[in-house]
Amino acid sequence: MNTEIINAVNATDTEAQYDEKAKRLLSNKIILAHILTKVVDEFRKMDPKDVVPYIEGEPFISVVPIEPGLTNTAERASGNSKLSDDNKASMDDRKEGQRIVGLNTENTEVNEGLIRFDIIFYVRMRDGISQVIVNLEIQKDEPATYHILNRAVFYVSRLISSQKERDFAKTNYDDIRRVFSIWICMNMDENSMAYVHLAKDNLLGSYPWKGGLDLLNIVMIGIADELSEHDAKHELHRLLNTLLSMKLSVDEKLDIMKNEYSISVDDKLRREMGAMCNLSQGIKDAENAKIIMNMHKKGYTTEQISEIVEKSIEEVEIIIRKREPMMA
């Protein structure tokens, strides 16, 4: 098989593994809690450690399809539902043997190739009664082929419409859960955060139409390439950049998490951080090797290549010797 094709396949596989590790890292409840304290009003100014208990169950990671008709799955009521006990109880017409609906978390090999939500989880509000559904999406950059806000609107709409027969029954529309779709976009020109939501403008009269303008919530978070200062304004951005950075080492990341955010790092979190850093290094090495070989083919000397890619002449020569025979 052509070497360039093999390298491309390997690079794609490495990037896919990195994306999966990034999702699993961000799905740690203490990380989700830090995000919630910055984007959900009820949790603002709370200590993230105190928010963790409000996150119910375990987050669903890359398993729930977005496509209409596939977000939910139906079962017969026997206590083995994808819903929390509270959600089951709220559907008062569910009896033993009846059809119940939960999030579709079937094996991802079924309907392979479908687009899935990155992360979905339920959060109990501080009143102890209401719940919200939170979706977290991670993008390595802003897409060039479509407007990302349009995609966010589609996702948040699916989070609303898929609740029928799962979180509310028949025409009980007042039982619709609030939803938040949070988008983290890396490699942006600047750090930013925007809150997109419904608004009501009275065009004639001032009749108080009843309903929840707060049901749909989109939060767009732009993360600049450079690590921001640790201040109140950039607190969330610095944490997310630290977690997802391809430049920082594992020890540098752990130091920031521990000393600046008081995040206790257990063995599981440490392993996930280490795996991500190894994969990010693999991606950077592959990109560097591609640049080096392209420059070599165009006639650049090893000295010129070394200066441009900021590697020693010996390192450049090793890469060329290793890859040149495969290009013949």
252-293 pLDDT per residue, tens: 999 999 999 999 888 888 888 887 777 666 666 667 777 888
Position with higher pLDDT, 107 vs 211: 211
Q: HSE of 163 in the Cβ direction (CA atoms, 13 Å)?
A: 26
Identify the pLDDT of residue 319: 79
The pTM for the full model equals 0.77
Domain count, the chain: 1
Other Cβ atoms within 10 Å of 321 Cβ, number: 9
171-175 long-range Cβ contacts below 8 angstroms, 24+ apart: 175/90
pLDDT band for position 4 (50/70/90)? very low
For CA atoms 154, 156, 159, 161, the dihedral sign is negative
28 CB contacts (<8 Å, ≥6 apart)?
Answer: 269, 272
Confidence of residue 10 (pLDDT cuts 50, 70, 90): very low
Range with the poorest average pLDDT among 44-53, 110-119, 141-150: 110-119
Does residue 324 sit within a domain? no
295 assigned to some structural domain: no
Q: Could you tell me if residue 9 is inside a domain?
A: no
Q: What is the pLDDT of residues 52-82, one digit of tens each?
A: 999 999 999 988 888 867 777 644 444 434 4
Beta-bridge partner residues of 185: 139, 222
> Residue 200: is its pLDDT beyond 70?
yes
Which range of residues forms the domain containing residue 233?
16-199+211-244
Residues 190, 224 contacting (CB under 8 angstroms): yes
Q: Is residue 153 part of a domain?
A: yes
Q: How far is CA 281 from the centre of its chain?
A: 21
The answer to whether residue 260 sits within a structural domain is: no
- Kindly state whether residue 251 falls inside one of the protein's structural domains: no
Tokens encoding 118: 């990155």
| Contact between residue 265 and residue 257 where contact means Cβ atoms under 8 Å apart | yes
| Nearest residue to 40 via CA among 243, 160, 25, 32 | 32
250 domain residue, yes or no:
no
CA dist., res. 76 & res. 296, Å (int): 63
At residue 79, the pLDDT reads 40
Classify residue 72: in a domain, yes or no.
Answer: yes
